[in-house]
Structure 1
Amino acid sequence: MRILFLVQGEGRGHLTQALSLAELVRSAGHEVVGALVGVTRNRPAPAFFTDQFPAPVTPLLSPGLVYHTQTHALQPSKTAWQALRHIRTYRRSLRQIRDAIDALKPDLVVNFYELLGGLTYGFYRPAVPMICIAHQYLAFHPNFVFPAGQVIDQLLFKFTSTLTAWGARELLALSFDEQAEVPRSRLRVVPPLLRRDAIERTPSNGDFLLAYTTNPGLVEQLVDAHHRHPDLPLRCFHSATKAAEQPIDATLTYHAIDGQRFLDAMQNCRAVVTTAGFESVCEAFYLGKPVLMIPQPNHFEQACNALDGQRAGAGVAADSFDLDRLLSFVPNYNPEASERFRTWYHRGYYLFLAALNRAVNPDKQTPRQPHPTGAAENLIGG
C-alpha cells in the first residue's frame, strides 16, 4: 500500500504522530511516498521532522495560529483574519495537494489535522480515500466533556475539526483510553501515537518536579510557587532560557527547551507541570508521572485536553501554576491508571493497520454514514 501523509505543522504534536505512524506502517510492509506539511512563511517544517521522515517532505503554505507576542495567549480573531488575508495563497496550496495526489498515485491519504487537506477533498473530490487522525476528533464523541460555559468556542472547535475531515472515509480519534466507536460519525477511538524514545524508557522516581512552558506569565507564577516551596527541587524548561542548564538557586534550575533533555528529565522526575498539549501529557502518563495541566490562555483545545486527562487519571487540570494542587494529587495518583494506558497504547499497532485496510477495501467495511456535523458542509457548499 502506498500512503501519502498530510500533516499540520503547528507545534510538535501532529508531526511526532506522523513520524510514529510512518514507522508503524513501514514495519508492516507499506510504503510512505511523501508528506505535505502545513507551514507558514515564518514557521518552516522543523528539522526533527524532515531529518527523520522516511520520504520526501514538501512544505505547504497553510493557516497558522496567532498568539499574543507577550502573553502567548491564542488570538482566535487574528488567526481567522490572517487566514482570510492569504486566501489566494491557500487556494494554490489546495491545488498543490491535488497535484501531489495525482503525481504520487497513493492508495491512501492520511491527514493529521491539516485544514487544507479536508478542503482539498471537499472542493476537488480526489478518488483516493482519505482517513484523518487527531485527538481533536474525540470532540465528536457523545461522551466527551467540554469546558463549561464556552459554547461558541465549542462550536468553532467542532466546525474547524469538521473542515479538516471533509470527505474523509474515517476519523481516528486519539484518546487516553478505550471508548466505543460512533459509526454515524465515521468515528473510531484509537490509542495515541507516541515517540519510540518515550515508550522504551524505564522510569525512576526522582525528588524533583519538572516544568515546561513557553508562556512568560507561567514562569512568573512558577517563581512565586517556588518561593512558597523553597525546599522542593524544581527544574523548568522555558523559551526565555538559552543555556542547557542555568541554576537559579539551590533548588531551582532553568533549562533551554530541548525535546530530548526534557524527556530525559521526565523519565526521572517526581511529577510534571506543563501546558495541556496531548502528546506531552500522554508521554508523562505512559511513564507514570502525575501531571498538572495548565492550558495556554484562550486555547480551547488545551482546555479540553486538561479536562479529559483529568478524567482519565493522568493528572489534574488548573488555570495557574498551582503546586499545592499538584502536591495534593501526587499521593492519590493511581499507578493502575497508567498501566491501563500502557495496555491501551500497545493495542494501537493492530487498530491502525485495520483502519488502513478498511479505507482501501471499502467493500469490507460498513457503509459510510453522514457526519453529525454535516451542516458545516452545507454551509460551505459541500
Structure 2
Amino acid sequence: MRIAYGVMGYGRGHAMRTMSVLPALMQEHDVTVFAGADAYDVLAPRFPTVRIPTIGYQYNDGGSHSLLRTVRRNFAPMSDLLFGGAGTEQVANEFRQRGINLVISDSEAWTHRVSQKLGIPRISFDHVGIIAYCKPHFPADLWALGMRDAWGYRSLMGVPERILISSFYPAEPAYPQVKIVGPMLRDEVLKAQPANGDYLLAYFNKGEHQYLPHVDRALRLLDCKVVVYGTPHRGEDENLDFRAPSVEGFVRDLAGCRAVLSTAGNQLIGEAIHFGKPILAVPEDAFEQRLNAHMIERMGVGMRADLMQLTPSDIDHFMGSHAWYVSNMREHAGNGRVEAIETLRRYINEIAQPRRRVAASRSGALPRPVAARRSA
C-alpha cells in the first residue's frame, strides 16, 4: 500500500516512536513521512519526508507556557487546519500525487484531517490516545483537565478506523478498535548495554526555554557529574557536560547513567525503565506530561518535581530513594515494538481487504470458488 505516515513535530519523542516501526513497514509498503519542526529534523535524513506545518507551545521569558504567545503563534496554522489553507492544500496535493490509500498518524493533525476530507482510512499510533480513546484514569487534581483534553483531541482528530497506543503504563480501552502495547524500543536502545554510572542524565525537550538559572544552579550544586541534553550550551563547565543532540550518543548516555532528570515524555520514560534508571520527572505544564509524572510516582519508578521551583534538595531527595525505585523497575519494564509491528500489519491488511474486493468487483473479476474435497 501507499502509506502516509504523519508525525507530530513538537519535540523528538514522536519521531523516536516512529523510528522503531518505520523500517519494518517500509520493507512491505511505499511509505512517505509527513512531519515538521523537530520531527522533520530527526526523520528527514533517514526516510523520505515531506515538511508540513506544526502546532506547538510557545514560552514566556520565565520558561512557562505562554497562552498569549501560543495563541498568537498558532493562530494562522490552526486557521489553516480548521478551515483550509496552504498547509492543508499542500498535504492534500501530496496525498493525491502519491496515490496515498492509507494514513498512519502519530498525533499529527494535518494528516488526520486531510485523510478524513479525502475519505482515506486511518490508523492512529501514538501515546496521547491513552487519554482520548481509553476510559478516564486521571487523578482527582487532573480530572477536569484530562476530560477537557480528551474531548478536544477527539474533536480535532475524530475517531480513526484503528487505534494503536504505545504506553509505559496500562489503561482500559473505551472503543473496540483500540489496542494498547508497551513502549517502543528502538534498535539503538535494544543494542545498548546498561551500566551503573555515577552521573545524572538531564534532558529538556525545549531546553532553550526550560533551562533556567535556578535549574542550572540546582545541577551545579550536586556532588556528581551531570550530562545535559536539549539546551543550546555545549562543552564541559564545572560538573556539567552539555552535549549536542545525538540519537546514538543519547542512548549510550542513558544506558550508562545512574538516574534521569527530564521532562515527562512517554518515549523517554519507557526507555529509562527498560534500562532500570529512576526518573525525576519535571513535566511541562501540559496534561499528558503531568499525567505521565503522576504515573511514575504511582508505579514507584521515580518522583515528580516542579521545574519552575526545582532545588538541589529535590534532586537529593530523589536520589536518596534510588535503590527503592530500581527495585520496582523489572515489574514495569517492557517492549511493545514487536507486538506493535504485528498489530500495524494486521490493521493494514484488514483495511486493505475491502479495497481489494472493491477493486476486483470494478474489474469484473469474481473470487474463485473453493474446490470441494472428494470424499474418500
**TM-score, structure 1 normalization:** 0.79
Q: How does 1:153-192 map to 2 (within 5 A)?
A: 153-166=145-158, 168-183=160-175, 186-192=177-183
Aligned pairs (5 A) from 1:102-113: 102-113=96-107
| 1:130 match | 122
Query: Which residue does the alignment assign to 1:78?
Result: 69
Could you tell me how far 1:170 is from its partner in structure 2? 1.9
Deviation by residue 1:40-79 (Cα, 9 ceiling, x = unmatched) = xxx7931x311111x3x111124332222x3332224432
In 2, the alpha carbon distance for the partners of 1:361 and 1:310 equals 44
1:37, CA displacement in angstroms?
1.4
Give the deviation of 1:289 after TM superposition: 0.7
1:335 positional shift: 4.8
For the aligned residues, what is the CA RMSD?
A: 2.8
Percent identity for Structure 1 against Structure 2 = 20
Q: Which one of the candidate residues 322, 328, 334 is aligned to 1:342?
A: 334
1:229-268 → structure 2 map (5 Å cutoff): 229-230=222-223, 232-243=224-235, 246-248=236-238, 252-259=239-246, 260-268=248-256
Asked if residue 207 in structure 1 is aligned to residue 182 in structure 2, the reply is no
Q: Secondary structure at the match of 1:236?
A: strand
How many residues end up aligned between the 2 structures? 342
- Other-structure match for 1:377: none
Structure 1: gaps of 5 or more residues: 364-382
Letter of the structure 1 residue corresponding to residue 305 of structure 2: A
- The structure-2 alpha-carbon separation of the partners of 1:167 and 1:33, relative to structure 1 and needing over 3 Å to count, comes to same
1:258 Cα deviation after fit: 2.2
Structure 2 partner of 1:17: 17
Contact 1:15/1:49 (<8 A) preserved = yes
Q: Which stretch has the larger CA shift, 70-79 or 109-118? A: 70-79
Shift of 1:148: 0.9
- Per the alignment, residue 360 of structure 2 pairs with none
Q: SS of 1:64's equivalent?
A: coil
Change (3 A) 1:6 1:237: closer
2:91 to 91, 94, 97: 97
Find the aligned partners of 2:336 and 2:43 in 1 and give their Cα distance: 26
Q: 1:219 to 1:309 in 2, by over 3 A?
A: farther
Give the superposition deviation at 1:8.
Answer: 1.5
Distance 2:120 2:90 in 1: 15
C-alpha deviation, 1:290, in angstroms: 0.8
1:155 Cα shift? 4.2
Pair 225,16 (structure 1): closer, same or farther in 2 beyond 3 Å: closer
Partner of 2:351: 359
Match of 1:287 among 239, 260, 275: 275
Larger Rg: 2
The SS at the match of 2:45 is helix
1:325 aligns with 2:317: yes
* Contact in 2 for aligned 1:114/1:164 (Cα 8 Å): no
Provide closer, same or farther for how the CA distance between residues 280 and 342 of structure 1 changes in structure 2, counting only shifts above 3 A: same
- Distance in 1 (alpha carbons) for counterparts of 2:232 and 2:50: 31
Q: Distance in 2 between matches of 1:87 and 1:217?
A: 28
1:304 to 291, 296, 319: 291
**Which amino acid in 2 is paired with 1:36?**
F
| Worse-matched range after superposition: 99-108 or 210-219 | 210-219
Q: 1:216 and 1:224 mapped to 2: Cα distance?
A: 13
- How far did 1:86 drift? 4.5
Q: 1:8 to 1:333 in 2, by over 3 A?
A: same
Given that 1:67 and 1:75 are in contact with CA atoms closer than 8 Å, whether structure 2 keeps it comes out as: yes
CA contact (8 A) 1:37 1:45 kept: yes
Q: Which amino acid aligns with 2:5?
A: F
> Residues 311 and 292 from structure 1, CA distance in 2 versus in 1: closer, same or farther, beyond 3 angstroms?
same
Residue number in structure 1 paired with 2:4? 4
Gaps of 5+ in 2: 356-376
For 1:130-181, what per-residue CA distance to the aligned partner results, in whole angstroms no more than 9, with x for missing partners?
1111111101322522571562x33442234214532521222221145443
- C-alpha contact (below 8 Å) 2:168/2:270 kept by paired residues: yes
Counterparts of 1:327 and 1:175, CA distance in 2: 25
Given the two structures, how large is their TM-score scaled by the length of structure 2? 0.80
- How far off its partner does 1:267 sit? 1.3
Give CA-to-partner distance per residue, 1:229-274, whole Å, 9 cap, x none: 43x333333514122xx131xxx12313323333222111111111
Between the aligned partners of 1:247 and 1:129, the Cα distance in structure 2 is 52
CA gap 1:264/1:274 in 2 versus in 1, 3 angstroms: same
Distance 2:39 2:252 in 1: 26
Q: 1:283 to 1:127 in 2, by over 3 A?
A: same
Q: Secondary structure in 1 aligned to 2:250?
A: helix
